Amino acid sequence: MARVVVRTVRGMKYLFDTNVLQELLRPRGNRGVIRRLSSAPAEDCATSIIVVAELRAGTRLRPDPGQAWNRVENAILQNVTVLDITSQEALVAGDVMADLLARGLKPPAADLLIAATALSNDLILVSRNLKDFSRIAALKVENWFE
């Protein structure tokens, strides 16, 4: 795998995956996840623009898409920093993809970009999806559902 250049996002610690942030929207969300999300300082919390796209797609499929999107904005997006995909993340995603493909694995593009965002910014990825993310070298992943 090519050398990864890390640019630290000042004060940030966590990058949240879609499956974690969705717990804030569920009527009976995982209490442990919600407790940890609620206690994490806002300056430690980020998500990827890819997660925003996934959340948006989910709201558009609901019978009340406008109201559902307002809930996402109010419950989630006001409380985290959204990180864009830059050329650095694109290069890291390409390196990670090549490494996984060489091992016979076919990673989803969205997961590659989310992982690359965490790697590029030296963040811990918080996700329930350990199956896919644990295969990525140097990626720090925590599962708050356990």
**Residues paired with 16 in a beta bridge:** 47, 126
pLDDT band at 108; cut points 50, 70, 90: very high
User: pTM (2 decimals)?
Assistant: 0.91
Residue 35 lies in a domain: yes
Burial class (CB in 10 A: 0-12, 13-18, 19+), 66: exposed
Residue 5 lies in a domain: no
CATH number of the domain encompassing residue 57: 3.40.50.1010
Q: What is the pLDDT of residue 123?
A: 97
Q: What is the pLDDT of residue 12?
A: 83
Average pLDDT for 116-136? 96
pLDDT averaged over every residue in the chain: 92
Range of the domain at 87: 14-142
pLDDT band at 6; cut points 50, 70, 90: very low
Average pLDDT for 112-139? 96
Q: What is the pLDDT of residue 3?
A: 33
Residue 9 lies in a domain: no
Residue 105 lies in a domain: yes
Q: What is the pLDDT of residue 146?
A: 87
- pLDDT tens-digit map of 10-52: 678 999 999 999 999 999 999 999 999 999 999 999 999 999 9
Residue 133 lies in a domain: yes
Residue 1 lies in a domain: no
Compute the Cα dihedral for 8, 34, 52, 96 and give only its sign: positive
Specify the number of domains making up the chain.
Answer: 1
